């Protein structure tokens, strides 16, 4: 029963819903005991295992039915003492609801169709028409002792009853076996779906025309950094509260966001209390942003975000009685003609908000075929959002990693240094776009990072830093993936070794194209995005020691790197007032890097007058620390420059070369 219900997203999402079975077990004393096996808190019906069901002794919980009241804290403490195994998962907050129903098996879901029947002005009539006397409605009460006792009393007073609908919440069915409870559950959900289908007709809401797909993505890439910055600034704190933004361009999301009455219908609240915890009470609905009015977009987006925050603070002030104001930024943003963004501390959180709000959209649309959509009152929303049991869960979350909530783009990420940088930042919580000419290699590394650090934390893109259009496309895809950028590591480079009198003009131009112009194109695009966000950021250039200490037969490379260094200094000067820091790392002789091909080693050996097999040792011996420099050493320096640990540092050069006197920055 549990996994069957959990496999259907229209019934339960992301750990929602609950199932239980009353059984006879032997306790640790060898005594037969009636036990309620109920889904443990934090487990998911879709994948639940037997050990994830908490066992509660019925003899310890049934007497609670005679109580008149019980606080959540008292109930949680009591249930902890009734466990068959103290090491088992904490039983659900709805444990008593399941226990007070006399039948053996109970199933509870947040079925979209059932919720749609109740989330409208004609909800009670819809329930009667759909179910007749087979199901009784239970007015909305927040989960806890009061709701548990109400449902238990209804079940006991109506022996033939096998189901109740919790208004604005979901469906509860029961039976003498799991199969009986499950089959009845599916039967009632199917009846609800058929009832809605019979009433469904064309929507009366007129959509705002959506732009063509390509144009829509171009506009979305312009809007996203502005939106991300506006959201980050809502709390007024320092540093700003960054987020990851995921864009849903699906026809369903775009059509809903483009409804002319989107602002009105979404103000009614969430589909169910469970949705509220991930999507907030209502989304931010952006104004229409017509082509040709781009200069006004930033002000209009900022104004809309601030209006949302003011309304949230007013909502908090109306109902608060000692609670601390939570982060008041929207989790769902509807953009007419574009689609839906969802915000979270990471891609997973944003994805959860998106998954849930897509179900909210379906509930709203289905509910409206029966009457105007309605939901929880403001008071009920507040009581769920600031529920002490939910706030307690926040205190159990591990501290965020150093680069959490940040989006990073790394160029030259298919190589040893670039991939090491991407891995290091990702392990510290960053979301990373890996770019390189070798897009397939970047995509492969990104898949490895995502497998280790979390789905959606890395993407791989083909990008040629020497091509203006390619750079624009790469940055645009990164922005569409994460909502914006906080850190850009300009790392891509090539090397060609030849004496000046033997150097081909094309090799000279190619070095300047990649090692100088490429860094300019990357920096320009990065600065535009960071300025649009308005929350600062960090650029890190891989300059190398050659910018300060040129090498023989390395003229094209050294000259281009010197240009890169001056470019970085100018970028630091021009963008400090915007909170954008620009710094450099100067590594030397990282032999795992791609530029150290056998041919390059041979040429450098010739330039240094040493045998090829002594090149690596020669470079190690020439630095003061006699150290071998690895890609991971460079990545560590980049992490420091990218993080808030260097928040007071810009225009800085960090040598990662073991100590070369001729390359000392000063």
For residue 569, CA distances in Å to 17, 582, 648 come to: 56, 7, 16
Provide the pairing of β-strand 18-26 with 32-39. antiparallel
Catalytic residue among 182, 315, 386, 557: 557
For residue 499, CA distances in Å to 25, 547, 551, 607, 613 come to: 85, 17, 10, 9, 22
Tokens of 140: 């909305």
For residue 109, CA distances in Å to 1, 28, 48, 375, 520 come to: 12, 33, 15, 17, 55
The helix-helix angle for 213-232 and 518-533 (nearest 10°) equals 60
Segment 219-222 long-range contacts (CB within 8 Å, at least 24 positions apart): 219/289, 219/291, 219/337, 219/338, 220/247, 220/249, 220/335, 220/338, 220/339, 220/480, 221/476, 221/479, 221/480, 222/294, 222/297, 222/532
Alpha-carbon span 28 to 30, nearest angstrom: 5
CA 524 to chain centre: 27
Of the candidates 619, 597, 630, which has an alpha carbon nearest to the alpha carbon of residue 497?
597
Tokens of 491: 């790392």
Q: Contact 608/430 with Cβ under 8 angstroms? A: no
Residues 6+ apart with CB under 8 A from 345: 243, 244, 400, 404, 405
Task: Provide φ and ψ at 248, rounded to 5°.
Answer: -110, 110
Residues 6+ apart with CB under 8 A from 466: 510, 513, 514, 517, 518, 521
Segment 132-137 long-range contacts (CB within 8 Å, at least 24 positions apart): 134/162, 134/163, 134/188, 135/163, 135/164, 135/165, 135/188, 136/161, 136/163, 136/164, 136/165, 137/164, 137/165, 137/167
For residue 297, CA distances in Å to 174, 254, 300, 303, 644 come to: 54, 19, 5, 10, 30
Give the strand order in the sheet containing 284-285.
Answer: 244-248, 339-344, 332-335, 284-285
Give the strand order in the sheet containing 163-166.
Answer: 53-57, 32-39, 18-26, 105-109, 170-175, 163-166, 136-138
557 is catalytic: yes
Alpha-carbon span 311 to 376, nearest angstrom: 17
Alpha-carbon span 215 to 337, nearest angstrom: 10
Q: Contact 241/325 with Cβ under 8 angstroms? A: no
Which residues are marked as active site?
A: 557
């Amino acid at each position: 029963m549990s996994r069957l219900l959990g496999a259907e997203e229209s019934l339960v999402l992301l750990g929602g819903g609950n199932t239980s079975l009353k059984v006879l077990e032997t306790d640790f004393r060898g005594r037969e005991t009636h036990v309620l096996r109920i889904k443990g808190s934090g487990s998911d019906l879709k994948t639940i295992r037997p050990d994830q069901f908490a066992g509660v002794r019925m003899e310890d919980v049934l007497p609670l039915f005679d109580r008149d009241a019980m606080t959540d804290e008292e109930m949680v403490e009591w249930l902890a003492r009734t466990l068959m195994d103290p090491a088992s998962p904490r039983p659900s907050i709805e444990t008593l609801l399941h226990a007070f129903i006399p039948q053996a098996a109970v199933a509870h879901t947040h079925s979209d169709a059932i919720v749609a029947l109740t989330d409208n002005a004609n909800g009670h009539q819809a329930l009667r028409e759909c179910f007749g006397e087979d199901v009784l409605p239970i007015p909305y009460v927040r989960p806890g002792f009061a709701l548990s006792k109400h449902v238990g009393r209804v079940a006991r007073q109506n022996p033939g009853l096998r189901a109740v609908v919790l208004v604005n919440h979901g469906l509860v069915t029961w039976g003498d076996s799991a199969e009986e409870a499950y089959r009845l559950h599916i039967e009632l959900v199917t009846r609800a779906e058929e009832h809605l289908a019979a009433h469904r007709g064309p929507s009366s809401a007129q959509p705002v025309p959506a732009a063509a797909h390509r144009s829509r993505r171009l506009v979305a890439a312009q809007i996203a950094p502005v939106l991300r910055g506006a959201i980050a600034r809502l709390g007024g704190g320092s540093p700003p509260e960054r987020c990851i933004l995921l864009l849903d361009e699906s026809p369903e999301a775009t059509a809903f966001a483009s409804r002319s009455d989107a602002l009105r219908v979404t103000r009614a609240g969430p589909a169910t209390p469970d949705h509220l915890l991930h999507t907030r009470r209502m989304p931010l609905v952006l104004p229409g942003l017509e082509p040709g009015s781009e200069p006004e977009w930033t002000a209009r987006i900022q104004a809309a975000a601030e209006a949302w925050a003011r309304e949230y603070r007013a909502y908090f002030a109306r109902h608060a009685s000692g609670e601390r104001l939570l982060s008041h930024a929207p989790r769902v943003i509807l953009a007419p003609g574009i689609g839906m963004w969802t915000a979270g501390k990471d891609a997973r959180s944003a994805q959860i908000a998106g998954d849930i709000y897509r179900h909210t959209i379906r509930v709203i649309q289905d509910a409206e075929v029966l009457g105007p959509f309605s939901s929880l009152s403001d008071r009920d929303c507040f009581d769920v959002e600031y529920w002490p049991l939910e706030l307690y869960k926040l205190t159990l979350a591990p501290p965020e990693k150093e680069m959490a909530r940040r989006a990073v783009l790394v160029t030259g990420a298919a190589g040893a240094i670039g991939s090491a940088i991407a891995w290091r930042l990702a392990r510290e919580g960053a979301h990373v776009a890996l770019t390189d000419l070798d897009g397939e290699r970047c995509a492969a590394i990104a898949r490895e990072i995502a497998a280790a650090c979390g789905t959606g934390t890395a993407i791989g893109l083909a990008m040629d830093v020497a091509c203006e259009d390619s750079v624009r496309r790469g940055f645009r895809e990164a922005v569409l993936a994460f909502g914006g950028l906080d850190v850009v590591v300009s790392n891509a480079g090539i090397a060609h070794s030849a004496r000046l009198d033997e150097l081909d003009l094309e090799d000279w131009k190619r070095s300047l194209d990649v090692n100088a112009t490429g860094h300019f194109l990357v920096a320009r695009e990065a600065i535009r995005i960071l300025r649009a966000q308005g929350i600062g950021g960090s650029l890190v250039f891989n300059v190398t020691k050659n910018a300060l200490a040129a090498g023989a037969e390395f003229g094209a490379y050294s000259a281009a790197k010197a240009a890169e260094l001056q470019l970085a200094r100018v970028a630091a000067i021009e963008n400090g007032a915007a909170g954008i820091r620009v710094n450099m790392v100067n590594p030397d002789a990282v032999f795992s890097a791609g530029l150290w091909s056998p041919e390059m080693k041979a040429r450098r050996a010739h330039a240094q007058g040493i045998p090829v097999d002594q090149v690596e040792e020669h470079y190690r011996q020439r630095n003061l620390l006699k150290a071998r420099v690895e890609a991971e050493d460079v990545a560590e320096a980049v992490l420091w420059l990218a993080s808030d640990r260097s928040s007071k540092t810009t225009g800085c050069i960090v040598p990662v070369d073991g100590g070369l006197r001729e390359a000392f920055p000063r």
